[in-house]
């Protein structure tokens, strides 16, 4: 049984059975922030909204969410607190860039409104660049632009994409009113689940490498972790996390942060997702890869003994596939050939169906692989082959 007090807020889009089992086992105080949230269990230690935040304000325990959809409830009840002020800055990519500019003084970025995108002098932009919503999620609205011609094409594509995804997530999760234009960082991309303990020290719970089909690909299709991913990156990422944590004075604070690492070993944070780990409960991959329960480690203020965990591990890959609907309008999808899709994998660890009528994703797959080529095949696949219109 976990001894120290902590609390969690659950919301859409997804709560895994692994998280539910953890909450049940330890009878963790839970606030459910969406009456339409589908849960497999009715035996959670659920607390009513007002009582939840009264208890939180009294004890100020570590807080966790499974989804940034829960931020609205936190902003509502804790308005004006340091927790909310910090979380709002971390969530806003433009504000985060301003706050950390002392760490990355040479990194070019510019904040613009949606209306300004069509008015800006495209000749003054530093190419190549990345265009993305200042408040965003799931790589939606993100474009890599190499020149002025591509700038105009990207703006047109952006408007079409906004029309498709607008309303899928609330504005405090995905806001298309403000955008960030920033320097393109050429290098490998990683996603890190971590938390700052009660003394402000960063603790890494997992490192995922993000694969891309090419330099224009900004999707979230494939991530993987494994022994070498942790060994080769943990030390450097801890150093970056320490510097960022000192700026924001983070304590008892979970994050999902993305980094780019250049060929020269320079490390730049791409974004921070506050008060949660990897979205859609994909943080659960750590339990398959390393036997780590990331929720328990954070909520017990515990750090993985990576030397021991990795010592006897084989050099295998543990991948996450985000099976998106590949731009097919949700209203036009009748069904998905799940059997055919799953036949692509040699060893499936977990398969999670998603309501493709509600979200532009039809499944998440955790798989164990021995060759990087297995992931590349998934990455380059046209998933429309498995969508029945």
pTM of the model: 0.90
Note the pLDDT of residue 173: 58
Average pLDDT over residues 33-40: 77
Q: Judge whether residue 279 has pLDDT over 90.
A: yes
* Structure confidence at residue 183 as a pLDDT band (50, 70, 90): very high
Q: Judge whether residue 35 has pLDDT over 70.
A: yes
Least confident of 148-157, 171-180, 189-198: 171-180
Contacts of 85 (CB under 8 A, 6+ apart): none
Calculate what percentage of the chain has a pLDDT beyond 90: 70
Q: Judge whether residue 49 has pLDDT over 70.
A: yes
Q: What mean pLDDT, rounded, does the chain reach? A: 90
Q: Phi, psi (5° rounding) for residue 215?
A: -75, -10
Note the pLDDT of residue 219: 83
Q: Residue 273 to residues 65, 207, 360, 378: CA-CA distances in angstroms?
A: 11, 15, 20, 26
**CB distance 195 to 203 below 8 Å:** yes
Q: What is the pLDDT of residues 68-93, one digit of tens each?
A: 889 989 999 999 999 999 999 999 99
Q: Judge whether residue 141 has pLDDT over 90.
A: no
Spell out the domains of the chain, with CATH numbers in brackets: 7-89 (no CATH), 108-183 (3.30.1490.20), 188-388 (3.30.470.20)
Q: Judge whether residue 34 has pLDDT over 70.
A: yes
Average pLDDT over residues 349-364: 94
Least confident of 30-34, 171-175, 316-320, 384-388: 171-175
């Amino acid at each position: 049984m976990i001894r120290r007090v902590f609390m969690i807020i659950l919301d859409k889009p997804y709560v895994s059975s692994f998280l539910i089992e953890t909450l049940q086992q330890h009878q963790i105080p839970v606030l459910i922030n969406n009456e339409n949230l589908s849960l497999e269990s009715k035996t959670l230690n659920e607390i009513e909204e007002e009582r939840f935040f009264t208890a939180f304000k009294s004890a100020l325990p570590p807080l966790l969410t499974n989804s940034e959809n829960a931020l609205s409830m936190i902003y509502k009840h804790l308005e004006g607190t340091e927790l909310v002020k910090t979380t709002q800055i971390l969530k806003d990519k433009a504000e985060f860039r301003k706050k950390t500019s002392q760490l990355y003084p040479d990194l070019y970025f510019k904040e613009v409104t949606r209306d300004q995108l069509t008015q800006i002098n495209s000749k003054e932009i530093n190419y190549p660049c990345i265009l993305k919503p200042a408040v965003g999620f799931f790589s939606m609205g993100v474009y890599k632009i190499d020149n002025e011609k591509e700038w105009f094409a990207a703006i047109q594509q952006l408007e079409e994409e906004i029309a498709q995804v607008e309303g899928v997530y609330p504005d405090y999760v995905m806001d298309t009113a403000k955008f960030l234009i920033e320097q393109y960082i050429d290098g490998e991309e990683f996603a890190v689940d971590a938390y700052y303990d009660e003394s402000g020290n960063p603790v890494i719970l997992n490192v995922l490498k993000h694969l891309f089909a090419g330099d224009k690909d900004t999707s979230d299709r494939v991530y993987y972790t494994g022994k070498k991913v942790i060994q080769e990156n943990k030390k450097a990422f801890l150093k970056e996390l320490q510097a960022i944590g000192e700026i924001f004075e983070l304590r008892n604070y979970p994050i999902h942060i993305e980094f780019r690492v250049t060929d020269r070993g320079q490390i730049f944070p791409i974004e921070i997702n506050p008060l949660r780990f990897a979205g859609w409960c994909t943080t659960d991959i750590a339990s398959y890869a390393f036997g780590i329960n990331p929720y328990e480690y954070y909520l017990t203020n515990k750090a993985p003994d990576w030397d021991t965990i990795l010592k006897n591990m084989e050099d295998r890959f543990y991948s996450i596939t985000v099976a998106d609907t590949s731009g097919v309008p949700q209203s036009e999808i009748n069904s998905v050939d799940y059997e055919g899709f799953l036949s692509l994998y040699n060893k499936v660890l977990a398969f999670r169906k998603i309501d493709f009528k509600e979200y532009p994703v039809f499944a998440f797959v955790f798989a164990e692989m021995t060759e990087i080529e297995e992931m590349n095949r998934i990455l380059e696949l046209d998933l429309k082959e498995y969508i029945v219109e």
